[in-house]
Amino acid sequence: MSSNSTAVESSEVELVHSRHHARTDGEHDGEGNSIEFSLPPVDRGKEAWFFLAGAFMIEALVWGFPFSFGVFQSYYSSHPLFAGNNSIAVIGTTASGIMYLIAPVVFTFLSQFPAQRRKSTVIGLALCVISFIAASFANTVAQLVATQGVMYALGGSLLYAPVIVWLDEWFVQRKGLAYGVMWAGTGTSGLLLPLIINAGLQAYDFRTVHRASAVAMMVLSAPLLYYVQPRLPVPAASTTRSLDYKFLKSTTFWVLQASNIVEGLGFFLPPLYLPSYAVTALRLSPQTSSLLLSLLNAASVPGQIFHGALCDRVHITTVIVVSAVGTALSVFLTWGLGGTLPWLIVFSLLYGFFAGGFTSIYGGMGKEMRRQYPSTEQGLVFGIMAAGRGVGNVVAGPMSEVLLKSWDASGKGAYGSKFGGLVVVTGVTAAVSGAGWIARRL
C-alpha cells in the first residue's frame, strides 16, 4: 500500500470517527442541555458485524436468483409453453441487467434523500415477492420477461441499494474486505439455489417453484431488515444533499469503467450457458449441469473475499489484472480445450474464483475516486460502475443468440461445438479488461 493511500485512509477514519458523537437539534435534558448520542464504532463491534451478516444475506437473496437463471433457462427451453423461443435468455439478462443499469438513478435518489432509504428496502422486498407470484401465472416468454425480469429487477434494486450506501458508513479501513464478504453472498446462494431450483423443477413445475421462492424471499429477508440499518442518524425527511460529480473528470475513472464494461460483455455468458452446454454438448444430466453452476458460484465466495481484501493492500488496477489473467486462462484452456466433465469442473472452480471476484473491486474503485476527490459518494461510484457492467449484461443475451447461430463448429473441446463463439468472446473480453493495468503505467 502506498503512503498516499495510507494517508487517505487515515483521514477517512478520522472523519468518520469524528462523527461518533453527534448532537441532534431539538432534544435536551431537563436542564436545557442538548443530548449527545454515541454512535457504534466503524470496522468493529457487534453492530458492524451484524450489519455485514445481514448485508451478506440480502446480497445472497437479491442476486442469487438472477445468477442461477441458467437452471431456469435449461428448463424453459424444453417446456412446451416456451420451447423454441429464442428470447428465453433475455429473461435472465433483463433481471440482472436492469438492476445494474438503473443503479445510478437509484443511488443518486437515495444519496439526495437519505430519509427514503428505509422505505426503499420495504417497497423493494414487496416487489420481489410480487414478481415471483406473478411469474408463476406466466404463459409466454414476454410475461416472464415482465415479471421474472423487469419487476424483479426493480424490486431487487430498491431492496439492495440502501445496503450499499449504509455499508460505507459501517466500514472504512476494512471496506474492501467488507464488500468482498457481502458480495460472497451471491456465490453462497449460487451454490445452493441451482440445486434447490433444479430439484423443485424436476419434482413439480416452474409455477410451484416461483410461489415457493416468493415465500422464501419474504421469510428470509423481512427479519434481516432489523439488522441492516444505517449507522449515522437519519436526517429529516425534507433534507436533501448535493452530490459531487467531479470524479467523472478523472481519466482514472474512465479507464476503470472501460475495463468494467468490457469485462461485463463476457462475464455473464458462462453462468447462462454452462448448464445448456453440459446437457447438449456433453450429454450430461440436468442434475450434473446444475452442480457445475453451483461449483462456479461457490468458487466465487473465496474469490470475492480474496479480491476484496486485495483492494485494501494494492492498487485497484493490479487487482483487475489478477482477475483478468486468471479468468482468460481458465476460459481458453479449461473450457475451450476441455471437452469432458473433469475439465468443466476445473473451469467452474477457476472461473468462479477469478471472474466471480471481479465485482469486489468496486469498493476499491470507490476508494480510488475518493482518494482523488474526497467528497465523492461511494454509492454513486458504485451505481455508475454497476450501470457499466449492466451494458454488458444486456448486450450478452442478444449477442449470445447471434454467436450460437453463426459459429463455425470446428476444433477440439468446446471450440468444436456451437458454444465455441461464447468461449472466445468470454476469454477475449476478460483479457482486454486487464488493459487498465497497462494504461496506468503508460
* CATH code assigned at 119: 1.20.1250.20
At 287 the pLDDT is 81
- Is 18 inside any structural domain? no
Q: How many domains does the chain have?
A: 1
At 316 the pLDDT is 84
- Is 336 inside any structural domain? yes
At 351 the pLDDT is 95
- Is 268 inside any structural domain? yes
- Is 25 inside any structural domain? no
At 29 the pLDDT is 43
- Is 263 inside any structural domain? yes
Q: How far apart are CA 29 and CA 37, in angstroms?
A: 12
Nearest to 221 by CA among 114, 125, 299: 125
- Is 3 inside any structural domain? no
Structural domain boundaries enclosing 263: 46-441
pLDDT in tens, 91-140: 887 888 888 888 888 988 888 888 888 899 999 999 999 999 999 999 99
At 34 the pLDDT is 43
- Is 339 inside any structural domain? yes
Contacts of 387 (CB under 8 A, 6+ apart): 100, 101, 102, 103, 104
At 237 the pLDDT is 53
Q: How far apart are CA 338 and CA 336, in angstroms?
A: 6
Cα-Cα end-to-end distance for the chain: 20
- Is 36 inside any structural domain? no
Collect the ranges in the chain with pLDDT lower than 70.
1-37, 235-242, 439-442
At 304 the pLDDT is 82
Q: How far apart are CA 15 and CA 3, in angstroms?
A: 18
At 377 the pLDDT is 79
SS3 per residue for the chain? CCHHHHHHHHHHHHHHHCCCEEEEEEEECCCCCEEEEECCCCCCCHHHHHHHHHHHHHHHHHHHHHHCHHHHHHHHHHCCCCCCCCCHHHHHHHHHHHHHHCHHHHHHHHHHCHHHHHHHHHHHHHHHHHHHHHHCCCCCHHHHHHHHHHHHHHHHHHHHHHHHHHHHHHCCCCHHHHHHHHHHHHHHHHHHHHHHHHHHHHHCCHHHHHHHHHHHHHHHHHHHHHCCCCCCCCCCCCCCCCCCCHHHHCHHHHHHHHHHHHHHHHHCHHHHHHHHHHHHCCCCCHHHHHHHHHHHHHHHHHHHHHHHHHHCCCCHHHHHHHHHHHHHHHHHHHHHCCCCHHHHHHHHHHHHHHCCCHHHHHHHHHHHHHHHCCCCCHHHHHHHHHHHHHHHHHHHHHHHHHHHHHCCCCCCHHHHCCCHHHHHHHHHHHHHHCHHHHHHHC
At 27 the pLDDT is 41
At 32 the pLDDT is 45
